[in-house]
């Protein structure tokens, strides 16, 4: 059984070299940005820079979330951490997208992005269905990079990506398309043979 030497960093300058039999690459948008011999994944990825606006809503809509599905619609939900609502829109939330390329780190692309809000367009569209929304007050925006599988770019399917790298036994790349994919990870791991490490 192979043993790998992995250099890990806390991102603030502290680095450590560890020896391990198994490597799980769970770096979401950064799956193909791991340096060294770690293999590229075979599944095609697409990255999107996304904007969730944070708005203050009139009292009547406080504590209420609405999602209109199956089309170029919108969703707003309470965001208790800021005592506001998040607002996203199928058409205006994705600002930019590109196919995954090794060497173009999506997190670096996000940090360099200009971040001009599209909240005015979101509010105008929601207001067509719920006129009360015209009195929403814009407060802030959360910009994030979202990564999806190319095969699901035309639908809302967000399956787990689980690749066991045949060329480097014991190395895995995993991406959760949705938070609840955590349950699929357990199922996938149950299908693998792991040799326990005995000290
Ligand atoms: C805008 C947006 C809205 C979403 N809405 C929903 C929703 O409503 N419902 C839902 O179920 N899911 C939603 N998702 C998807 C959900 O967030 C992801 O499916 C889930 O977080 C993926 O889990 P993960 O463990 O694969 O990756 P993450 O939770 O992203 O964890 C990856 C971690 O790896 C770290 N990392 C990256 N590169 C490196 C590196 N080189 N070295 C060390 N660490 C690294 C990152 O900092 C991060 O902490 C949304 C995602 C976005 C972007």
Residue 199 has pLDDT above 70, yes or no: no
Q: Tell me what percent of the residues of the chain surpass a pLDDT of 70.
A: 98
Q: Is 127 exposed, middle or buried (0-12, 13-18, 19+ CB in 10 A)?
A: middle
Write out 4-31 in H/E/C secondary structure.
Answer: EEEEEECCCCCEEEEEECCEEECCHHHH
pLDDT in tens, 24-83: 999 999 999 988 899 999 999 999 999 999 999 999 999 999 999 988 999 999 999 999
**Ligand 1 mutation pick, 6, 18, 179, max ligand atoms within 8 A of CB:** 179
The residue whose CA is least distant from atom 42 of ligand 1 is 27
Domain residue extents for the chain: 4-43+157-190, 45-152
Q: How far is the CA of 28 from the centre of ligand 1 (A)?
A: 5
Q: How far is the CA of 164 from the centre of ligand 1 (A)?
A: 20
How far separated are the first and last CA of the chain, in Å rounded? 16
Residue carrying structure tokens 């607002």: 87
pLDDT at residue 33, rounded to an integer: 92
Q: How far is the CA of 62 from the centre of ligand 1 (A)?
A: 28
pLDDT at residue 156, rounded to an integer: 79
Tokens (6 digits) for 37: 């011999």
State the Cα–Cα distance between residues 183 and 163, nearest whole angstrom. 16
97 lines ligand 1 (CB under 6 A): no
pLDDT in tens, 154-168: 887 899 999 999 999
The residue whose CA is least distant from atom 48 of ligand 1 is 27
pTM: 0.91
């Amino acid at each position: 059984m192979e043993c790998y030497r992995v250099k890990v960093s806390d991102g603030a300058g502290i680095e450590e070299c560890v020896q391990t039999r198994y490597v799980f690459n769970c770096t979401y948008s950064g799956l193909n940005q791991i340096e060294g011999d770690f293999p590229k994944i075979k599944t095609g990825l697409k990255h999107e820079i996304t904007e969730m606006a944070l708005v203050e809503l009139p009292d009547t809509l406080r504590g209420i979330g609405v999602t209109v599905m199956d089309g170029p619609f919108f969703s707003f939900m309470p965001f208790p951490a800021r005592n506001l609502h998040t607002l996203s829109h199928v058409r205006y939330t994705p600002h930019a997208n590109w196919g995954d390329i090794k060497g173009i780190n999506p997190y670096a692309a996000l940090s360099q992005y200009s971040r001009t809000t599209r909240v005015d367009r979101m509010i105008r569209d929601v207001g067509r269905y719920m006129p009360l929304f015209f009195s929403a007050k814009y407060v802030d925006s959360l910009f994030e990079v979202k990564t999806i599988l190319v095969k699901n770019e035309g639908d809302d399917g967000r399956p787990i990506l689980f690749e066991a790298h045949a060329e480097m036994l014991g190395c895995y790349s995993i991406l959760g398309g949705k938070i609840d994919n955590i349950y699929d990870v357990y199922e996938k791991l149950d299908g693998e043979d792991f040799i326990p490490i005995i000290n």
